[in-house]
Amino acid sequence: MKDLARARGLSLSEMIRRAALGIRMPSRTMDRTDVLYLAQVLGHLGHIGGNLNQLARRANAGKLPGHDAELAQTLVGIDTLRNRLREIIA
């Protein structure tokens, strides 16, 4: 509980008081390590998206028949995830 309180920028007693009174807790604060990890994930997703984009181009050229819709949908999902990570990091 101490770690949870600290992550939210509260003392343990303040967190318990808020929980007992039903007062909303502040969101968890991210430290530098969290931001660095998320930035690494963002980079890895960029590499994955690049590889998927190459596959999508091959599919659109008829070299991977029947997979264009799946690849396009996956690319949209990765782009959505990357955008959300950028929002969190900013």
Tens digits of residue pLDDT in 60-86? 888 888 888 888 889 999 999 999 888
Task: Mark whether 3 and 21 lie in a shared domain.
Answer: yes
Share of the chain above pLDDT 90, in %: 28
d(CA 26, CA 5): 10
Task: Mark whether 35 and 71 lie in a shared domain.
Answer: yes
Is the pLDDT at 9 greater than 90? The verdict is no
Task: Mark whether 45 and 23 lie in a shared domain.
Answer: no
Number of domains in the chain: 2
Task: Mark whether 58 and 69 lie in a shared domain.
Answer: yes
Task: Mark whether 52 and 10 lie in a shared domain.
Answer: no
- What values do phi and psi take at 5, rounded to 5? -60, -45
Q: Is 41 exposed, middle or buried (0-12, 13-18, 19+ CB in 10 A)?
A: middle
Tell me the pLDDT tens digit for each residue of 28-59: 777 788 888 889 999 999 999 999 989 988 88
Task: Mark whether 35 and 24 lie in a shared domain.
Answer: no
- Residues of the domain holding 48: 31-90
